[in-house]
Homo-oligomer: A and B are copies of this chain.
């Protein structure tokens, strides 16, 4: 789908969409040091002045790219069981990381974040938002008696993603369905064993 067709809402929205798509492409190809606003304007087919006026800097474009990723992300699953919900989460993360555009884009953002504090803050915001969307899977599991009281929802959700990101980033291999199953099962087993109960909850129980 061409960028200018990917979202409704007139010229401003079309410009944003084109520039963010160009920023993702350029980040994957060139990395943060290779990005500049004139190049993004050229790739997006948008006037330089528009890009300078609207965003002002490359990190501001990347922050907006991350905001767009948050806005367009999938909702949580609600399968009725912890195992089902964590597997759905693992499968979503796996399919995102294995996607030929999303995987390299997330890798490039992780690397840009290592070099730029603004991008790091934005990317942390993305992961915090994604984690928050899935936290009710854990609180529901606690309410159903599947997990011990005091289990930290964010810790459980992050534990599902961790081995899938680790595999992609340190070994360079895209996680497959078996990896997603294992990530979900390992997290569920650890959560049932009480590993993700907060230190505070332990002390007061």
With both beta carbons as reference points, the residue of chain B lying nearest to A173 in the complex is identified as B124
Known: A114-B107, A162-B162, A186-B186. A127 touches B171 (CB 8 A): yes
**Taking chain A's interface residues, is the majority helix, strand, or loop, or is none over half, making it mixed?**
helix
Q: How many residues on chain A are close to B (CB under 8 Å)?
A: 42
**How far, in angstroms, from A45 to B120 measured CA to CA in the complex?**
34
What copy number does this chain have within its complex? Answer: 2
Known: A34-B33, A114-B111, A182-B196. A162 touches B166 (CB 8 A): yes
- Name the B residues within 8 Å of A165 (CB-CB): 162, 165-166, 169-170
Shortest distance from the beta carbon of A134 to any chain B beta carbon, whole Å: 15
**How far, in angstroms, from A127 to B166 measured CA to CA in the complex?**
11
Contact at A195–B199, with CB atoms within 8 Å?
no
Asked whether any CB of chain B lies closer than 8 Å to the CB of A84, the reply is no
